[in-house]
Structure 1
Amino acid sequence: MKTKIFILSTLFFFLTIVFGFAQAEETLPYEVKLMLRKGLVKEVEKEAEKMAAAGKDYMANLTFGELALLKGDVRVAAIHFRKVMDLNPAGIEGKIGMAKVYAAEGDIKKAMLLLEEAKKVSPYKVRLYYEMGRLYEVYKEEKKAAWAYEQALERFFRGR
């Protein structure tokens, strides 16, 4: 099962690098995601500040939230992700961010409840299932992790 999860998550990661997520307005720009993955704190801070200066509050808060998580500051991350949820209550990005906050605090149940709530709002989002897979994997729920990664890949290939 661990091999299957590794293959699914690696395949998904590879495909998103090659083809990218379907870029929706509500998600971070690809360049910012890449900087976050590389841990380029100063560069991400500059991008977030540019977004804030341009009046892009949603994107700025989303970026500052991800940056705070990268730094390990879950309190600050929660503030930003709550703002994202206030700015776009129907969106899933704020909910995904808050789920990461809850997971970082060790509250996997609360994290999964929030992702399930996001799934009701937007059941076809690729990233939602990918994040579910990551959480399940971290908490050693291998069958659920494999299922979530399979769902993400299926939606990815359908273009959702």
Structure 2
Amino acid sequence: MKADLNISNWFEEFHDGLFRFLVKLTGDYHESEDIIQDAYVRASIKLALFDAQRGSVKNWLYKIAVNIYYDRERFRRKEELAVDEYYRELISENTPEKEPDFEYSKEMIEQAVVMLAADKRAMFILSLKTGFRDMAEIFSLAEGTVKSRMFYIRKELCANLRKIHEEEKL
């Protein structure tokens, strides 16, 4: 039996079941929408690789969606580990501010980051993923300027952590 290679037919036939499956898998409606959209895009790009002899269209689409989910989870875990490691380094680096002498949680650090001005927050978040040279290019600044700004951003984050800690003690 020849497989129907029309993506729009696949969408109509498999969308509801695949979407319900993804909502159960992710626990998130919006992420499921993103995954299903990515799955159909990837399927249309890789259509030439589909082999009806090896399995059904439905199973192929589900496999694509599950692989996208796994990719996102791997990325999320790597990102969380990188952020956690960066936060630990951030607090332990030598800054004019004394290192906090209290235990801080990831939530406290996230609050401290949110307290930064938008431009500082953008620079800090980008620093989690890229080096000073790339940041300088992105922000159209000299590399030394980026390093200087990151120094003051770290200092401000330490101050924000102290402020949050004091508020929690009240």
* Normalised-by-shorter TM-score class: under 0.3
Q: TM-score, normalised by structure 1?
A: 0.21
Structure having the higher Rg: 2
